[in-house]
Amino acid sequence: MTKSQSSIQKFESETMIHLDVLLAAARRILRNHQDAEDIVQETYLRAWKYFNTFKPGSNCRAWLFRIMFNAINAMRGKQARMPLTPLEDIERMDNQKGNVITFDPLRNIEGGEVLRAMSLLSEEYRTTLWLVVVEEFSYRETAVVLDVPIGTVMSRLHRARKELRKLLATEKACSAAGGC
The region, left, alpha or beta by phi > 0 then psi within -120 to 50, assigned to residue 147 is left
Amino acid found at 131: L
Which of the four pLDDT bands, split at 50, 70 and 90, describes residue 102?
very low
β-sheet bridge partners, residue 110? 100
Residue 180 is predicted with a pLDDT of 59
Residue 89 confidence (pLDDT) above 50: no
In 79-163, where do the E strands start and end?
A: 100-104, 107-110
Q: What's the pLDDT band for 104 if we cut at 50, 70, 90?
A: very low
Nearest to 43 by CA among 23, 29, 13: 23
Query: What is the chain's mean pLDDT, rounded?
Result: 78
Q: Where are the alpha helices (DSSP H) in the chain?
A: 5-15, 19-30, 33-49, 60-78, 87-95, 111-119, 123-129, 139-146, 150-176
Q: Give the DSSP letter string of 29-47.
A: HH--HHHHHHHHHHHHHHH
The domains located in the chain, with CATH, are 7-78 (1.10.1740.10), 87-176 (1.10.10.10)
**What pLDDT does residue 91 have?**
41
Contact criterion met (CB below 8 Å) for 172 and 179 = no
Cα 100 to Cα 110: distance, rounded to the nearest angstrom: 5
- CA distance linking residue 75 with residue 42, whole number of Å: 10
13-62, pLDDT tens digit by residue?
999 999 999 999 998 888 888 999 999 999 999 999 999 999 888 899 99
